[in-house]
Amino acid sequence: MHTYTLPGTDLRVSRIAYGCMNIGGTWDDAPLSTDVQETASRAIQVALETGITLFDHADIYTRGKSEQVFGNVLKASPGLREQMVLQSKCGIRFAGEPQPGDPQRYDFSYEHIIASVEGSLRRLQTDYLDILLLHRPDPLAEPEEVARAFDALHSVGKVRYFGVSNHTARQIELLQKSLRQGLLINQVELSLLHPYLIDEGIVANIPGVSSALATGTLDYCRNHKILIQAWAPLAGGKLFKPNVEADTALGKTAQLVSQLAEEKQTTSEAIVLAWLLRHPAGIQPIVGSTKPERIAACALADEVALTREEWYAMFTAARGERVP
């Protein structure tokens, strides 16, 4: 798989990343089972075999079990840690934690950022994260407090680089003013069926479309060399499900994807991911299946080249109407 150096770092990353949200099994307090561990180990192995080098975590994924099961893999294979770029996220807190009446919330306080990273390092059984992302914007965030946490983590080598997830251009700008470290990544939902960050660039200033839509996040990140990572790049597999109604936008898009896959002798997953890879922003899709065959099918996107016409045909089909 093709790789590139993440701007502003010495990190060499693959064009496609692996998302570890589901490798921990269930989202409850049930202990890890042997089956879950074996499934996770196999998925990680297959991802590595396809050339994937960046592995994405979050402290909340399956309530910490995803990091725990990954840490078991690292412990069992000394030297494996140095072959990958390890990324995790923090900032989301579950309802009922630590007190029963506490609501679900976001927390960019100094104490929570530090505690979250310490927990991730312990579960992952590693001394450092290559990248830490702030998971969801916290309306109560104090940029100076975030900066203090980042400085503390960076100065002792526990986090090498930093970024955000699900942030707008202005939210990134506000944080960056207080940080010594550059924000290098913005991980957002983006796919053929969720193309709004791309679509806003062509529908701004059109009657009936709110001007508030044009946040300019994608262009801002391109201008500031911030890597866009796409979560849910396959839109939950909606395009691959059987019995999709043919006369709907979803059905027509699924048919076009299947047709292109057949013409290019590849998989439908590869075609959908290639649509993101074709964009000049250098988007990095994060795939999250635990099935080896699906991981391999996704990795083939690295070999697919879409023409401008094919890209727009897919875009138009998914929009359900032509571009303006």
Which residues are catalytic, by number?
A: 61
Burial string for 41-54 (b: 16+ CB within 10 Å, else e) reads: bebbebbbebebbb
CB atoms within 10 A of CB 208: 5
Q: What span, in angstroms and rounded, lies between the C-alpha atoms of 72 and 178?
A: 37
Task: Give SS3 for 84.
Answer: coil
- C-alpha to C-alpha distances, 18 to 122, 230, 233, 294, nearest whole angstrom: 21, 11, 11, 12
**Could you give the angle at which helices 308-319 and 249-263 cross, rounded to 10 degrees?**
160
Q: What span, in angstroms and rounded, lies between the C-alpha atoms of 301 and 281?
A: 16
Q: What span, in angstroms and rounded, lies between the C-alpha atoms of 296 and 269?
A: 10
Contact call for residues 24 and 69 (beta carbons, < 8 A):
yes
CA-wise closest residue to 314 among 259, 237, 238, 262: 259
Task: Quote the Cα angle for 138-140-144, to 5°.
Answer: 95
Q: What span, in angstroms and rounded, lies between the C-alpha atoms of 241 and 243?
A: 7
Q: What span, in angstroms and rounded, lies between the C-alpha atoms of 54 and 299?
A: 13
What lies within 8 Å, CB to CB, of 115 at 6+ separation is none
Report the relative pairing of strands 159-165 and 183-189 from DSSP bridges: parallel
Q: What span, in angstroms and rounded, lies between the C-alpha atoms of 324 and 320?
A: 12
